[in-house]
Amino acid sequence: MSRYFFKRLRDEFRRRLPFDRALLKGYSLPPLRIDIELTHNCNLKCTMCSFVDGNEINKYFSNPKRSKHESAEEFPSIKRWKRFIDDISSFNPTINLSGGEPLIYPHLWELLDLLKEKRFITTMTTNASLITEDVAEKLIRSDIDALVISIDGDRETHDRIRGVDGSFDKALQGIKNIKAVKTALASKTPRLVINSTISWENYSDLSFVKKLFAEIRPYKWNISHLFLGNGDMALKDLSVLYNERDDIKPLKDIYGRIDTAALGKEIRVLRSASLPISFLPSIEGEKLKTFYEDPAKTLRNKCSYPYFSVGIQGDGTIITCMYTPMGTIDDDFRSIWNSDRYKEFRQMLNGKLFSKCSRCCGLYE
Ligand code: SF4
Ligand code: SF4
């Protein structure tokens, strides 16, 4: 309880009073959250995933590094992770493990042990299809605080989006396994958070959320609008990114498949349900129309993400939100976080957002 309370208090204080952004010329206090994309490999093949080689999203919105299959030798050893975790422990960030599918990461359990030792608040984003009873027990014993599980429709829609028959039933079974083991071990954690991503495949019928809510009883349910960035941009010089939007045609094609009147209706029904359902971003009416019909236009003009969060790739590269490599987990983290390059990057954002920012989830966090 107190572990959550004091961390939340500290994090809220930083978010509400971002004096470093206002005053310190790109210098930032340590990040509140570290997102580790443990692997880009996955057992599913979702239609809207930039890691899935060959789908149209991957074609337009990924870069070669993100979409290639990684072999076990490319992942850092647990010794390298241990050094990194010791290095960051003094500022106690929340750690979010994602992928690809984190449950297929070869060093997952040893890494979770290290995180547990430091008492970090740890969350994991998973498709849940690999959570057998045995895996559920290991997750609960690892003291993971929350699991964010993706469910994008009823059985038929979810399987179509995920690209693999049977993935809905497996995800639901995974959730049941977690709940059963939590009860057996009298554990309050992990909290179950369900995430649904709106796409051209499901926007016209979100009734599955209410139906499944009664069955799953999650801690909360997040509905995320469609976010797409252009991965290729990470390979370009940052200064080019201010004005260039060479991916605008595919963005328009893909967002244009969503009828905002039909989606708006679905959102209103869910909002009236009095359930803990949140939307990222929380938009209706004209803003919803702009989001899908004019994807080059940003709905906010400032982003604090590079002051609060940092990403790490499966090979140990430390990256900005633009996928710009800044260092590795073998470097001294604080020197990387406030290197001249990182400070220059943050200062550029004080001027105006990058073109890629318009449909990036970080802008709305
Ligand atoms: S489960 Fe996640 S990582 Fe795997 S293909 Fe789907 S969206 Fe991509
Ligand atoms: S919106 Fe924020 S998090 Fe996203 S790319 Fe732009 S600066 Fe980074």
**How would you write the pLDDT of the chain (365 residues) with one tens digit per residue?**
567 887 888 888 787 777 676 677 899 999 999 999 999 899 999 998 888 877 877 777 766 555 567 788 889 999 999 999 999 999 999 999 998 999 999 999 999 999 999 999 999 999 999 999 999 999 999 999 999 999 999 999 999 999 999 999 999 999 999 999 999 999 999 999 999 999 999 999 999 999 999 999 999 999 999 998 655 555 455 555 555 555 567 788 889 999 999 999 999 999 999 999 999 999 999 999 999 999 888 898 888 899 999 999 999 999 998 888 899 999 999 999 999 999 988 988 877 788 778 888 998 88
Q: Please tell me if the CB atom of residue 46 comes closer than 6 angstroms to any atom of ligand 1.
A: yes
Q: Which of 51, 214, 205, 230 is nearest to 127 (CA)?
A: 51
Residues 20/307, Cβ–Cβ less than 8 Å: yes
Q: Please tell me if the CB atom of residue 58 comes closer than 6 angstroms to any atom of ligand 1.
A: no
- CA distance linking residue 257 with residue 345, whole number of Å: 34
CA of 306 from ligand 2 middle (Å) equals 7
Q: Please tell me if the CB atom of residue 360 comes closer than 6 angstroms to any atom of ligand 2.
A: yes
Tell which atom from ligand 2 comes closest to the C-alpha of 360.
4
- The side-by-side arrangement of strands in the sheet containing 94-98 is 277-280, 220-224, 191-197, 146-150, 122-126, 94-98, 33-37, 309-313, 317-319, 325-328
H or E element, residue 208: helix 207-216
Q: Please tell me if the CB atom of residue 314 comes closer than 6 angstroms to any atom of ligand 1.
A: no
Ligand 2 atom 3, closest CA:
362
Residues 152/126, Cβ–Cβ less than 8 Å: no
- Can you give the pTM of this predicted structure? 0.92
CA of 203 from ligand 1 middle (Å) equals 18
CA of 357 from ligand 2 middle (Å) equals 5
Q: Please tell me if the CB atom of residue 363 comes closer than 6 angstroms to any atom of ligand 2.
A: yes
Q: Which of 253, 260, 340, 252 is nearest to 294 (CA)?
A: 252
CA of 238 from ligand 2 middle (Å) equals 12
Residues 149/175, Cβ–Cβ less than 8 Å: yes
Q: Please tell me if the CB atom of residue 42 comes closer than 6 angstroms to any atom of ligand 1.
A: yes
By most ligand atoms within 8 Å of CB, the mutation choice from 68, 101, 152 for ligand 1 is 101
Give the closest ligand to the alpha carbon of residue 197.
1
Tell which atom from ligand 2 comes closest to the C-alpha of 349.
7
- CA distance linking residue 83 with residue 233, whole number of Å: 31
